[in-house]
Amino acid sequence: MSLTSKTIQELHSLYRSKKTSVQDVVEASLKRIEETNYHLNSFSHICRESALAEAKKLDAAGMPENASMMWGIPVGVKDNMCIKGLPATCGSKILKNYISPYDGAMGVCLKKAGSVVMGSCHMDEFAMGSSCENNAFVKVKNPYDLERVPGGSSGGSAAAVASSQVIVSLGSDTGGSIRQPASFCGVVGLKPTYGLVSRFGLVAFASSLDQIGPFARCVEDAAFLLQSIAGHDKKDSTSYDYTPPDYSKDLKNDIKGIKIGLPKEYFTDGIPADILTCIDKAKKVFCDLGAELVEISLPHTQYAIATYYILATAEASANLARFDGVRYGYRNKEAATLKELYIRSRSEGFGPEVKRRIITGTFVLSSGYYDAYYLKGQKVRTLVKQDFDQAFRKADVILTPTSPCTAFQFGEKIDDPISMYLSDIFTVSVNLAGLPGISLPCGTDDKKLPVGLQLIGPSLGEARLLNAAYQFEKVCPPLGIELKV
């Protein structure tokens, strides 16, 4: 087994016993990235020199007695996170040459833990997409089938972990952008409770929905990475004033007697039979582990997609107004007036999906339509949240498919925005309600592509969520499919 295929626990033990060095692991990661990135396009920028320098620095200082589990671990970060000296292009022409002058919260947390940032990972432009086809520069490919998408918008981060380019990575999730690519790429992806992880230094898409979270090849690694990034941050006004528990401590507890809710609205006739077969097998696994399955209802689920695309686009319209060609980013050099500068810089700098969402968001916020769309959307969001509150009176954890489909082919949905949006139908409600959700592999479909299982927990319920996911993972058979790189 290569060093980059090992778990965090295994690497931690090797470091502690001095059987390997951080430099060895970082060099192995760099080699794997350089061998496979041509095929995958997962990394947008590789920090070869700074990663090696950091590895040598860590080795020279030696592993501290109380070292974080993330010490010496190679990490990829999504291209919308500000880390000093690293590009943060958000997959957009309008930020093509932008280099972050400061460390956002993620940079601070990773450096404090002693992790090694290997580079930034490609994404859908400004995190708007479900396939990583909405990128101004490249298309990220699925490591299990290079003709298929990795999911989005954090597709690069998911593909980097699935292909063992890095041990773990960070993505952001606004409506499913961690969980859906985790499902498509056969890895673990966790979207934390809104406010558990600081958004300081995350380029905003929809500020009331965005949340940073981990990708990993196993649940325990996701718990270790979450531990290093969770907690209160004074620089983020929406950050919880909360001290997180030790997320790895109770992973191995049995889950006998926990109640797992099955929302009837998520198990519809539209889900392919091969995906439902995998989910049914997952239900049986939980029953064998001693869990009790209970039927629940989330009646406002049918309005979730419409509500999400009203609220998310409205916030995007406001957040992306800052990209105007004046202070930083792409600037049209031929404009004769300030108005023309705005129009031409934004028209040339933004891609079609971003323009579509800005226009939609501006419309729902406009005079005469605000009450009919945006205000009504906020009211429905409250109803969605209340549905979950009621459900968690009956259940400890909620089980659903992560996505109604597996990885689709390039071009299959890109010209049909509604079809693309519906691929997030099982994930957006979690963001609207601000809850934690995790996707983990639970089998393959008839095309031998990964199928994802989603578990949803109550607010700040990550410990229970990770415990249930870990116990499932222990007995769920491996996917049994080979990478194409």
Active site residues: 78, 153, 177
Q: CA of 94: how far to CAs of 46, 47, 132, in Å? A: 20, 22, 17
The phi, psi pair for 399, rounded to 5°, reads -115, 130
130's CB contacts (< 8 A; 6+ apart) are 124, 151, 152, 153, 176, 177, 180, 413, 420, 421, 423, 424
Q: Is 232 left (phi over 0), alpha (psi -120 to 50) or beta?
A: beta
Burial of residue 29, with CB atoms counted within 10 A of its CB: 0-12 exposed, 13-18 middle, 19 or more buried: buried
Instruction: Copy the structure tokens of residue 168.
Output: 């773990």
Collapsed DSSP state (helix, strand, coil) of residue 365: helix
Instruction: List residues bridging with 168 in a β-sheet.
Output: 75
Q: How many residues does the chain have?
A: 485
Query: What is the spatial order of strands in the sheet that 43-46 belongs to?
Result: 43-46, 116-121, 74-78, 168-173, 211-216, 188-191, 437-444, 450-456, 397-401, 259-263, 292-296
478's CB contacts (< 8 A; 6+ apart) are none
**Distance, CA of 4 to CA of 6 (rounded, Å):** 6
Instruction: Copy the structure tokens of residue 277.
Output: 């077969």
